[in-house]
Structure 1
Amino acid sequence: MRKTIIINPLDNVGVALTKLAKGETAENVVLCEDIEKGHKFALRNIAEGEQVIKYGEVIGAASQQINAGSHVHTHNMHTCLDGTLEYTFNKVAKPELPKAVSRNVNVYVRKNGDAGIRNELWVIPTVGCVNSQARRIVKVFCEKHPELSGVDGCHAFTHPYGCSQIGEDHERTRLLLQRMVKHPNCGGALVLGLGCENNRMDVFKDTLGEYDESRTRFLIAQDVPDEVEAGVQLLEELYEAAKNDKREPKDISCLKVGLKCGGSDGLSGITANPLVGRFSDYMAEVGGTTVLTEVPEMFGAEHLLMNRAKDAETFEKVVHLVNGFKEYYKRHDQPVYENPSPGNKAGGITTLEDKSLGCTQKSGTGEVCDVLMEGNCVVEHGLNLLNGPGNDMVAVTDLACAGCQLVLFTTGRGTPFGGFVPTVKISTNTELSQRKKNWIDFDAGTIAQGESFESKLDSLVDLVAAVAGGQKTVNEIYDSRDIAIFKTGVTL
């Protein structure tokens, strides 16, 4: 089993793949101190002010002299990032990838041609005031139908918004809820309102656009004597419409897969994230779609994504995406680079550049085909970038609302979280996978132990195909399903 890795020949730090002891020789240097798994050590002397190199890129600079064999972390290095930047488009050639073999997945084909991987009934509140009623409607309905034959589940997706919001903040809430109503994983949606909220039901319906009226119902709680009884009756109608839906085979290219990481550690950019990057390349090769978000965790690696833009217009979109999010921080008088988190640092990630270069490994090596801003849905096959924060719940909600039927979620620290679409948790290290089987779906940590990326990619594609065909993810088994709407405005 390998104990250390040098990710790129240009690097002046190595990474411990297991805990190393002071006095050990690692990558031809004698360690000056113990090095925890996932943490960095200097391969040679690094002078104060000199750049620290990992992934072949700058992840910061030494804040003091760092001797060969020393631990390299927050105590002796710092970020080199600062504010918005100007960028130049230096397009890199699209790499030649191994020929990908496509396959079929069994999905629900919706009236508009979209492919759903679940056939669920959803209750979607327009406002947080009716959250408890939404949950009660689902509870009563499921008690009447304990088997729910013909559908994959019935769920209420509650949130605290829909009132006391104005402007773009209010419009974003309405738009994301509308995206949920029309999501292909939803076999029937009950939209539940209160009646006096500013997310008015009439405006919601008028701006919803084309939708399947046979699979959508609307209920205003203030308009009926018993909103639970009325809601259950409307769910009965949706159930009758949805319960005879059948899966049918379609090419895997029908899938739109979100890419997300959370609770990263020092192995994230070595095992799980580059594995997901290979999956993204695979999907592009077979004509499918992947979507990468977490704009703040592109900072420090954005130039790599920009230079992979398919053309100059897309490059400018990526520049706008990145600098726009930096300006968002500045408008709120917050530091642009307040990252990584305490958990990230404990796992071996030192600076935002360190984190971002690991995070963007999920994008693979292919072209960036399009950039999606708030509320936009995927239209381009291949790799897309989506505007959104790093917050796990918000990011997964944004990915699903952009049209993703499932999300691949890599983690080194672990999380039980799941979104309103199946959320496949991929561990960066085997210890996490073994210790938290109720959180993790797939172990990428075996890559650090010598298993090939090719073998793990085959297994990951198998898992995605199985999940698309109905196999439940851990978050579904344990009913970890949540949404979080990105709020940027004032509360009235």
Structure 2
Amino acid sequence: MEKLVILNSSDNVAIATTDLTAKDTVEVPGQSGLELVTDVPVGNKVAVSAIAKGADVIKLGQVIGQATADIQAGELVNENNLADGQAADNQQTLQADLSQYASDRTFMGYRRKSGKVGIRNDLFIVPTVGCITPLMDVMVQQFKAVHPDNGSFDNIVLLKHPYGCSQLGDDFEQTCQVLCDAALHPNAGGVLVFGLGCENNQMDGMKETIDKMAGIDPQRMKFLVAQEVKDEFANAQQMLEELNDAAANDHREPVPLSELTVGLQGVQPDAFAPVTADRLLGRLADVVNANGGTTVITGVPKLAADRTGLVKRAANDEAAHKINQVFDHMHDYYGEFDHEMVKQPGAKEFAKGITTAVESAVNAAQKGGQAQFSDALPYGHKVAKHGLNLLEAPNNDLIDSSAEAAVDCQLVVTSTGVATPYASFVPSVKVATNSELATKKKRWIDFDGGQVLNQPFEEVAEKFIDDIIAIASGQETKNEQAGLHGLAIFKIGVTE
């Protein structure tokens, strides 16, 4: 096991993968050996060369702050000798060459009439309002009584949520938009949009929005308003059978990686995250982007401290402008409630080796790999450009994974140091930052990122990419095996 890992060739700090003791001599890639002058806890940074007071400290190829004192080679770099300064204004512009990851690999997907590709042939039931969600369970029970194997579908996904009524203005519009986004997701081989009748999220409005966005395929999308029929269950079963018949001949076919859209996020990173799971997600992003595919990262508040650095990664002026718009809009949202969007690290973060807000942001951005940003999206807007996209959404795993699914990510891949059973309405891949967690929560974790600590990174990364392509081709995720799906909508307004 490497005791110290340098995450980028331009870094002047390395990350400890285990607790290290002063006076130890530790091998460092490209050096004969580094004698430690202080103890270095796991996950923390150690200077691999002398850093003068006021000089930049570089991690992941990015400036994370300036030294507040002279730092010796082999010395712990933490809150005692590092602070935010002008780091964000001095970020390097990433110009990575991803061509080494290009290939002719394919996955087995479902080509839709619209031209989009799904990695699942699922049946979606989308309620316009939360008060009717209990009825959906009965509908599924009746359908499964006839089709215990889900009929023509891989999964039956209920997009339950508590909204759709007593909402005002932008809050109401946002709920309607995300539900329409979900109804048009390429993973859905059939969709039943189910309404009550008296909610303010009226079915006519949903139909109009969906029709404007992509048109309505009556063979694949049905609409039912409970108050307008005598027996909503009988009507639902007839519609579900029609959807089942329409999907009967759907089949997988080879599809290039350019048709893959992946959401990337993190949940409660631990000290190992930047070296293990986040690093794997970054490699996945590089592979997908190198092959003309699409990746999406979000959690805007966490990224905000490195705003200038992310803007410099924009592929063009238009993308840079959109990135600034996303940050401005989220900043205004926080301002409405008198909260600061950028939060400084505290004792909990210090223990994990995170010293500055910029470092926290750089760690979070690592999951997007090394590509430049091709676009930035307001919440609820569909992906329009291949490559790396920034999506407006808060730093909340439930909302963020749903937001990424809503913009047409066919799967969401999450780096996690604590594990969570939550999944969105698309396959949700959980990558553990350490092997202990992967062993403990086998029913939740799809991939053990902790393998990186004991095996060559390139070998683990190859296995990881193989797993992701297998999942895109039909291999079930742990959330699918357990029947866990969900939808969380970003609520921004008051309840009427």
Match for residue 185 of structure 1?
Answer: 187
Aligned CA distance change for structure 1 residues 143 and 66 (closer, same or farther; 3 Å): farther
Aligned to 1:459: 463
1:355 pairs, out of 360, 381, 395, with 360
Q: CA deviation at 1:482?
A: 1.3
- Given that residues 109 and 473 in structure 2 are in contact (C-alpha distance below 8 angstroms), is that contact kept between their aligned partners in structure 1? yes
- Structure 1 residues 360 and 249: CA distance shift in structure 2, 3 A: same
Q: After superposition, give the CA deviation of every residue in 1:74-100 in whole Å (9 maximum; x if it has no partner).
A: 688665599xx9x79986545363152
Among residues 418, 424, 429, which one is paired with 1:419 in the alignment? 424
Does the 8 Å contact 1:81/1:337 carry over to 2? no
Give the number of equivalent residue pairs. 487
Identity of aligned residues (%): 40
1:17 corresponding residue in structure 2: 17
Counterpart among 105, 113, 116 of residue 114 in structure 1: 116
Match of 1:236 among 233, 241, 254: 241
The match for 2:292 is 287
Counterparts of 1:128 and 1:310, CA distance in 2 = 41
Paired residue for 2:29? none
Letter in 2 for 1:481: H
Measured against aligned partners, the alpha-carbon deviations of 1:117-172 in whole angstroms (never above 9, x if no partner) come to: 11111111111111111222223322332122331021211111111111111111
Counterparts in 2 of 1:24 and 1:124: CA distance versus 1, 3 Å: same
**Aligned residue identity for 2:471:** V
Give the equivalent residue in structure 2 for 1:126.
Answer: 128
Question: What residue number does 1:270 align with?
Answer: 275
Equivalence for 1:445: 450
**Residue 377 (structure 2) aligns with:** 372
Structure 2 distance, partners of 1:214, 1:149, is: 16
Question: Following superposition of structure 1 onto structure 2, how do residues 130-169 of structure 1 map, counting pairs within 5 Å?
Answer: 130-169=132-171
Query: Cα–Cα, structure 1 residues 413 and 491, in superposed 2: closer, same or farther, change >3 Å?
Result: same
Seen in structure 2, the aligned counterparts of structure 1 residues 396 and 328 have a Cα distance that, compared at 3 Å, is same
* Per-residue deviation, 1:59: 3.4
Shift of 1:401: 0.9
SS at match of 1:214: coil
1:91 and 1:75 map into 2 onto residues whose CA distance is 28
Q: Residue 299 of structure 2 contacts residue 393 of structure 2 at CA under 8 Å; is this kept in 1?
A: yes
Q: Does 195-204 or 332-341 show the bigger shift?
A: 332-341
Counterpart Cα distance in 2 of 1:120 and 1:28: 54
Partner of 2:310: 305
Change over 3 Å in CA distance of 1:430–1:90 after alignment to 2: closer
Tell me the CA shift for residue 48 of structure 1: 9.3
User: In structure 1, how many angstroms separate the alpha carbons of the residues matched to 2:230 and 2:71?
Assistant: 72
Match of 2:340 among 335, 344, 367: 335
State the shift of 1:352 in Å: 2.9
| Range that drifts further, 155-164 or 23-32 | 23-32
| Structure 1 partner of 2:225 | 220
SS at match of 1:383: strand
Matched, 1:325 2:317: no
What residue number does 1:471 align with? Answer: 475
Q: Look up the equivalent residue of 1:277 and give its one-letter code.
A: G
User: Deviation of residue 72 (structure 1)?
Assistant: 5.5
The Cα shift of 1:366 comes to 1.9
TM-score (norm 2): 0.88
Q: Does 1:489 align with 2:493?
A: yes
Q: Which amino acid aligns with 2:16?
A: A
Contact 2:125 2:194 in 1 (8 A): yes
Which amino acid in the other structure matches residue 3 of structure 1? K
Distance 1:78 1:329, change over 3 A: farther
Aligned AA for 2:151? S
Alpha-carbon distance between aligned partners in 2 of 1:126 and 1:256, rounded to the nearest angstrom: 26
Report the Cα offset of residue 451 of structure 1.
0.9
Q: Is the 8 A contact 1:265 1:348 kept in 2?
A: no
Check the 8 A contact 2:63/2:92 in 1, yes or no.
no
Shift of 1:112: 1.0
Deviation, 1:231, is 2.3
Q: How big is the shift at 1:205?
A: 1.1
CA contact (8 A) 2:37 2:74 kept: yes
User: What per-residue deviation string (whole Å, max 9, x for no partner) do you get for residues 366-419 of structure 1?
Assistant: 221111112221121221221111211111111111111111211223222211
Any idea what SS the aligned residue of 1:105 has? Answer: strand
Give the superposition deviation at 1:269. Answer: 1.9
Residues 192 and 323 (structure 1 numbering): CA distance in 2 closer, same or farther, change over 3 Å?
A: same
Residue identity opposite 2:364 in structure 1:
C
Shift of 1:273: 2.1
CA shift for structure 1 position 58 = 4.2
Give me the whole-angstrom Cα distance separating, in 1, the residues matched to 2:234 and 2:347. 47
Supply the distance in 2 between the matched residues of 1:403 and 1:343 (Cα, whole angstroms): 35
Structure 2 contact 65–358 (Cα < 8 Å) conserved: yes
Q: Is the 8 A contact 1:130 1:193 kept in 2?
A: yes
Identify if the C-alpha distance between structure 1 residues 476 and 326 changes in structure 2 by more than 3 Å, giving closer, same or farther: same
Q: Quick check: 1:269–1:357 contact (8 Å CA) kept in 2?
A: no
Task: Work out the CA distance in 1 between the residues paired with 2:352 and 2:484.
Answer: 25
Deviation string 1:425-474 (CA, Å, 9 cap, x unpaired) is: 12222232222221221223222334133x33332232122111110011
> How many angstroms apart in 2 are the aligned matches of 1:424 and 1:231?
31
Whether 1:430 aligns to 2:435 is: yes
Normalised TM-score (structure 1)? 0.88
